Amino acid sequence: MKVDVYKRPEYEGKYSYLAVPEGHPIPDEATAIDWETAEQNIDLDEANESVVGLSANDALQQIDMKGYAISSSQDKVRIGPNV
């Protein structure tokens, strides 16, 4: 499945990530948050590595259940020095 990935800054230089099927809009329940494009046209497959804080298996399950996937609070990703 191809997805578009969005990010939003959190605390301590970490980010949350949102994945939606390619070409689909950000769902209404998440539009009140300032998401910015992180990556587009990403191949999300159970055989692939995780996508910026989202394991492929978990992301696919979330997309099946609610149409999008979001990184959990335990999976915040730090971007920048000391990564």
Say if 83 falls within a structural domain: no
How are the residues of the chain apportioned to helix, strand and coil, as percentages rounded to the nearest 5?
20, 35, 45
pTM for the full predicted model: 0.77
Say if 18 falls within a structural domain: yes
What is the per-residue pLDDT for 21? 93
| Total domain count, the chain | 1
Cα dist from 18 to 7, 60, 82, whole Å = 6, 12, 23
pLDDT > 90: percent of the chain: 13
Give yes or no for residue 51 having a pLDDT over 80.
no
What is the per-residue pLDDT for 81? 39
Least confident of 24-28, 53-57, 62-66, 78-82: 78-82
Contact 7, 17 (CB under 8 A): yes
Contact 72, 33 (CB under 8 A): no
Contact 30, 66 (CB under 8 A): no
Mean pLDDT of 45-50: 67
| Domain carrying residue 34 | 2-78
